[in-house]
Amino acid sequence: MAEKFIIHPCGPLKGEIGIGGAKNAVLPVLAGSLLTGQPCVISNVPNLSDVEYMCELVESLGGFTAWNRNQGTISIDTSRLTKCEAAYELVGKLRASFLITGPLLARLGRARVPLPGGCAIGSRPVDLHLKGLAAMGAEIEYAHGYVEATAQKLQGAKIYLDFPSVGATENIMMAAALAQGQTIIENAAVEPEIVDLANFINTAGGDVRGAGTDTIKINGVKDMKGTHHSVIPDRIEAGTFMVAAALTRGDVMLTNVMADHVKPVTAKLKEVNVNVNETPHGIHVKADNCELIAADIKTLPYPGFPTDMQAQFMSLMAKAKGTSVVTETVFENRFMQVGELKRMGAIIKIESRSAIIEGVDKLTGTQVCASDLRAGAALVLAALVAEDTTEISGITHIDRGYHLLDERLNELGACIGRAIEA
């Protein structure tokens, strides 16, 4: 049954919060485990519905997964893959499932995967993924809404990405891990999740060099072995809690976070007048004695400001003194939160790919709807400081990417309940 959040305004958030494993790192690593016929153990796995869908997908191909949610580990064994075709119902639930294309093709010589449809944050095509696989010798056919890729043996190739797509870099890197010869990806994505996937491939016997730079060289190996891999902390979950602390004028210590990975968010929070300090224990965000001031942001591939933090930052700017401009350059149509924030009293005008925000003294609670994961998180943050009660529907989107966001914010002093939607 669908649930909604009921959020009452709270005072400053205070306390310590441990950040979970990164959703955007564990999903490609689970896809990558299809490359090896030997058992793998993945740890620091966040308890998210997206992870559950990815495990279902691996099982639908004949793989075995055992998820110990208390320990945060998944044991995965894909020694007996029986299918190279992904079910539409599963791929429709989870766009990242398209990442199985490269590994399946490399391991079994064939992959038939539904084309991911449009989604709430733009059309999100997969042309770069497929161009890369084609350059490695795959034959690509489209029929009945599916992509079918076949190749007896993928061959290493030099691939230049028109845009440093995270997903395309991951798919090509995985396919290249078992290809014959060397693949070079130029203008590759440099996100920390790419480095995490490369580390996984390397500990499983692959040979990937240069991940984290814009040129990645992959020397194909004949086969790969089992491994144990611990997923990096989630920089977007960390950023969301940092903004929550700032917005409520709180004092919060974040642990299990990589300071380097949240640098773009830290830099912006400092510009907004919030104290952020890296300590040996974690990242300390202290905003109890400051006036929030306007700042402009422009989303960019890493190490620029992450598009996945744009919506949450906009909630902060909605209450900051002055005028801010938020420009989204990574996805078209990623301002889904704007209409709902306006219903809460924010003053925001969209002009093409920018949103112009006039900070207001008060936001007011009302009924709003989460249209996607990060837009939903932005509404939760705004509701923490809005007058009266806010009801947020569509929270399955939020549960896809944040483990019990309500309970974890409550541990810091928020007042969020869950109720069944009428």
Count of chain residues binding ligand UD1 (CB under 6 A): 21
User: CB-hemisphere CA count at 13 Å for 408?
Assistant: 21
> Does residue 97 interact with ligand UD1 by CB under 6 A?
no
> CA angle at residue 218 from 105 to 127, to 5 degrees?
50
Q: Which amino acid is at 213?
A: T
> Does residue 55 interact with ligand UD1 by CB under 6 A?
no
DSSP conformation class of 353: T
Annotated active-site residue 84? The verdict is no
Nearer to ligand UD1, 98 or 241 (CB): 98
Least distance CB 399 / ligand UD1 (angstroms): 16
- The CA–CA distances, whole Å, from 41 to 70, 202, 396 equal 15, 14, 27
Least distance CB 12 / ligand UD1 (angstroms): 29
Nearer to ligand UD1, 142 or 163 (CB): 163
Nearer to ligand UD1, 13 or 58 (CB): 58
Which listed residue (36, 307, 337, 371) binds ligand UD1 by CB under 6 A?
307
Place of tokens 């691939």: 159
H or E stretch at 198: helix 192-203
> CA angle at residue 42 from 37 to 44, to 5 degrees?
170
User: CB-hemisphere CA count at 13 Å for 1?
Assistant: 7
Nearer to ligand UD1, 262 or 385 (CB): 262
Least distance CB 361 / ligand UD1 (angstroms): 32
Nearer to ligand UD1, 192 or 226 (CB): 192
H or E stretch at 65: strand 64-68
Q: What is the DSSP code string of 179-232?
A: SBSEEEEES----HHHHHHHHHHHHTT--EE-BTBSEEEEE--S-----EEEPP
Radius of gyration (C-alpha) of the chain in whole angstroms: 21
The footprint of ligand UD1 on residues 98-137 (CB under 6 A) is 122, 124-129
Least distance CB 124 / ligand UD1 (angstroms): 5
> Does residue 77 interact with ligand UD1 by CB under 6 A?
no
Nearer to ligand UD1, 122 or 417 (CB): 122
Least distance CB 115 / ligand UD1 (angstroms): 11
Distance between CA atoms of residues 43 and 62, nearest Å: 22
Tokens for 413? Answer: 């002093």
> Does residue 159 interact with ligand UD1 by CB under 6 A?
no
Least distance CB 176 / ligand UD1 (angstroms): 16
> Does residue 257 interact with ligand UD1 by CB under 6 A?
no
| Termini Cα distance of the chain | 10
- Which residues are known to be catalytic? 119
| Residues in touch with ligand UD1 (CB under 6 A) | 24, 27, 96, 122, 124-129, 163, 165-168, 189, 193, 307-308, 330-331
